[in-house]
Structure 1
Amino acid sequence: MFPFNTSTFLSRGNKHRSAFILIGFFLLYVVWNLKGNMSDQTLDYFTGPSGIKKRDAAEVRWSHAVNSRSRLTEALAGPTHMIEADIIIRGRDPKEPIMAHPPDTDSDITLKEWLEGVKTHNKGIKLDFKSLEAVSPSVALLEEVLTGPSRPVWVNADILPGPGGQARPLEPQAFLSAVTTLPTHTVLSLGWTTGWTAGIVNPGYSWDMVRGMEEVCRTLQHPVTFPVRAALLVQSFSQLTWLLQQSDRYTLTVWTGQNDKFTLHDLLPYRNMFDISRIYYDLPDLLRTELSMT
């Protein structure tokens, strides 16, 4: 029978406990960093002495349909933080990504020229894809021109049918297989096709719609923002609340159609329910400013 040495046993036990503690801290560190890499860093980029004063996504200002040289010059010189533009493939030779919204088929600026113009300015960008054929060549240009890790880059497409939507969404897996090659700080803006008609009761985002979207997004490694139509928010509160609760990677981006009708009070339940850093408001400046003061 071997002699039992109590001090040796305790010493080995302490070493084992120390090893388990170190492994535990290491795993927490890895998980924390993965969480940080997958969360939306847009507000971090704009918050500071020369930017917005607090982590309130309602403070972020937007320029829309920046699809020409003149609009790009105006947006780069202005006070907005995020510049949004639409991308299609030119309808004639040379077939390349250009900045235009259907039914337009041509533009005075290509995506490559647009990105070169943005590169020297302190702006974030949101690129809205209207066709699958434009995605892969655009992603290649993004990787080539915007190599820095800090600038907010959002890529947007409607990938599922939504309330009142008549347009055909982009095929989800085809779009995601192309854009998920982008760095993990890239924000994927994934929406539903929608419609809104005055004078009738418009349906909101259904449970099937939000569950279908969450199923698509749950395994992604990128932060995801869901563009949601302001005029459909009141009737979708339970569904969109549930969707946001599924992951810290998720945010909402509230937008409006030109003729949509809604009120500030329609937006307040979301502002009161969630951290103000998790809901962006791509709305007219007057309404967005009023909302940020609530």
Structure 2
Amino acid sequence: MTATAGGPGSWSENILEYFLRNNLITTEDGAEIIWYHAANHKAQLNEALKSTAHMIEADVLLPSDGSEYSQPIMAHPPETNSDNTLQEWLTAVIKSNKGIKLDFKSLAAVEPSMMLLESVKRHLKRPVWINADILPGPNGNSRVVDAKPFIDMVTSFFPDVTFSLGWTTGWHPEKVNEGYSWTMVKEMEYICKELKQPVTFPVRAALVRQSCSQLLWLLKKSNRYSLTIWTGKNDNYSIEDLLCIRDHFDKKQVFYDILEPQNHEFKQAIGVKVNL
């Protein structure tokens, strides 16, 4: 399949095209996109909405009380409670022009969340990314979200969404950390090749340099594919690792949702202006 991203205002519109069209970035370069990560609680969400971030990322789960009528809330495990429901979160976000990425750690939260998204769809004329880790990856020991029911549930509501499909991963400071193997990327391609939507693959910065061949192979399989580089809070990786990615991959196909201080240092090194 070689379908491209959706048209203006659709949830599958390429984020570079969307933010260029709205004069919020200047070139087709994924490094220009500014992310706000884990905008779950109301304080973080308000900060994200006031910030220069283009894309707001947040985590959705069902609260720990397990009630049949539970509403999805915004929290990242191990937290299981929040001062923010998905409904409140969406009500705040639709007043902005920011793109959104919603991260699901379990299948249970997906259907009630899609129903809430459906109720605000006409107000969300911007990129919407739906994320889950669907395959075990390097050192991954978290539970994966079952790929087929996840993808089927999301597409039954929104055929024009952008998928963000990743691997569970771990990183250990005391040992050699292997990257994404050929088996891992081939499994992912097997799942994604039948999809019509754009797909971004979230990959861990500390594991990318040792996986360049595999990830290049994966991106060459479709013009619908991209990478989103992310970082664990205590991961040890260098700016050189990021520059290596920069040198080997198409700038239009890689986004960088990375933490400070590396984010600032990386953008300085490549000449991308940092708005604080």
Matches within 5 A, 1:112-123: 112-123=87-98
Q: Which runs of 4+ in 1 moved over 6 A?
A: none
The answer to whether residue 46 in structure 2 is matched with residue 77 in structure 1 is no
State which of 48, 56, 59 in structure 1 corresponds to 2:32.
59
SS at match of 1:248: coil
Q: Which residue of 2 aligns with 1:22?
A: none
Partner of 1:12: none
Output the CA distance in 1 between the equivalents of 2:155 and 2:269.
Answer: 33
Q: Within 1, Cα distance between the matches of 2:22 and 2:162? A: 24
CA distance in structure 2 between the partners assigned to 1:73 and 1:149 by the alignment = 18
- Does 1:260 pair with 2:271? no
Cα deviation for residue 37 of structure 1 reads: 2.8
Pair 108,49 (structure 1): closer, same or farther in 2 beyond 3 Å: closer
In 2: Cα distance, 1:247 partner to 1:147 partner: 29
Offset of residue 176 of structure 1: 0.7
Structure 1 stretch 138-147 or stretch 216-225: which is displaced more?
138-147
Q: How does 1:20-31 map to 2 (within 5 A)?
A: none
Question: Any unmatched runs of 5+ in structure 2?
Answer: none
SS in 2 for 1:58: helix
Match of 1:172 in 2: 147
Counterpart AA for 1:35: T
Does residue 195 of structure 2 align to residue 226 of structure 1?
Answer: no
Tell me how far 1:293 sits from its aligned partner.
Answer: 1.9
Q: Which amino acid aligns with 2:28?
A: R
**Deviation by residue 1:187-239 (Cα, 9 ceiling, x = unmatched):** 10000000000131101100000000000000101100000000001110110
SS in 2 for 1:127: strand
TM-score normalised by L of structure 1:
0.84
Separation in structure 2 between the aligned mates of residue 142 and residue 63 of structure 1, nearest angstrom: 20
1:36–1:188 distance in 2 versus 1, CA, 3 Å: closer
Cα distance between partner residues in 1 of 2:270 and 2:220: 22
- Answer whether contact 1:256 1:282 (CA < 8 A) is retained: yes
Do residues 278 (structure 1) and 244 (structure 2) align? no
- Deviation of 1:146 after TM superposition, in Å, equals 2.5
- What residue in structure 2 maps to residue 160 of structure 1? 135
Q: Distance in 2 between matches of 1:117 and 1:149?
A: 12
TM-score (norm 2): 0.89
* More relative contact order, 1 or 2 (CA 8 Å, 6+ apart): 2
Aligned residues: 263
- How far residue 148 of structure 1 moved from its aligned partner, in angstroms, is 4.9
Structure 1 counterpart of 2:116: 141
Q: Secondary structure at the match of 1:55?
A: coil
Question: Do the aligned residues in 1 keep the contact of 2:4 with 2:198 (CA within 8 Å)?
Answer: no
Kindly indicate which of the two structures has a greater share of residues assigned to helix: 1
Alpha-carbon RMSD across the aligned residues, in angstroms, is 2.0
Q: 1:187 to 1:49 in 2, by over 3 A?
A: closer
User: Tell me, which stretches of 5 or more residues in structure 1 are unaligned?
Assistant: 1-30
Q: Are the aligned partners of 1:58 and 1:288 in contact in 2 as well (CA < 8 Å)?
A: no
**Which structure has the larger Rg?**
1
Q: 2:251 & 2:157 partners in 1: Cα distance?
A: 27
- Equivalent position amino acid for 2:4 in 1: K
Distance between the aligned counterparts of 2:249 and 2:165, measured in 1? 20
Distance 2:140 2:199 in 1: 21
